[in-house]
Amino acid sequence: MAMAAASVVDIVEHPLLLDMPGLLENATAEAEILEGLIDLQYNPIRSLDNVAGLLTSPQLVEIDLSNCQLSGSGLARWLARGYPRANTLHISDEVTPSLGLGNNALSGSIPENIGTLLPDYIQGLGFDNNQFSGHIPSSLSNLTSLTIVELQRNELTGSIPDTFSKLSNLVTFNVSYNHLSGQVPPVIPFTTLDISSYEGNAGLCGTPLPSCT
């Protein structure tokens, strides 16, 4: 998932040595100073448990853990530790409250209660290119500030929840190359998205795809 270019704690050029005590805690503290954004992508973190310390900073609002060789089914456990809840009055305009976990090998179901585990001001969710299975949780519709939802290239089944009609701020929504079926929600923005947002799901139908029979 694309992230803001400004005020990033950029550790891409200096991969984390995860056996150094306090390193992640120090990175989190630095991220809080730099507008609440931390970019840890391309570091060999491997397990969400290794970055549990990220969830201790109340001002951390944008987290990118994409391309971190993450695997396992620990997403629910990780989020249940308590996702940061920042004071929205102090969130910089230069950051987009978001969670990026794309291009890893995370598996298992997306937590059914993810819509309550994440703060309601979150705008971006990047879970693409993983191995998530099960259905898309309807509780995501509680996160009405979402503008970006990327779930493409997983193993998701079932339908796109009807309750997603509440996500009227969506600009990017991609569920391509899963195993979804049923009707695309018959409301904007879902009906106006490019077909590529849905391709690779033989069972999906309805505008902008062929009509359901």
Rounded CA separation 194/203 (Å): 17
**Residue 91, φ and ψ in degrees, nearest 5:** -80, 125
pLDDT, tens digit only, all 213 positions of the chain: 544 333 334 444 334 434 333 445 444 444 333 567 788 888 889 999 888 877 777 777 888 999 999 999 999 999 988 888 776 656 667 778 999 999 999 999 999 999 999 999 999 999 999 999 999 999 999 999 999 999 999 999 999 999 999 999 999 999 999 999 999 999 999 999 999 999 999 999 999 999 998
| Residues 24/57, Cβ–Cβ less than 8 Å | no
85: tokens are: 């809840």
Sheet holding 37-39, edge to edge: 9-10, 37-39, 62-64, 98-100, 124-126, 148-150, 172-174
How many Cβ atoms from other residues are within 10 Å of residue 167's Cβ?
A: 22
Place of tokens 């397990």: 47
CATH of 9-205, one of 3.40.1350.10, 1.10.1240.10, 3.80.10.10, 2.60.40.1730: 3.80.10.10
Domain boundaries, the chain: 9-205
Distance CA 127, CA 210 (A): 27
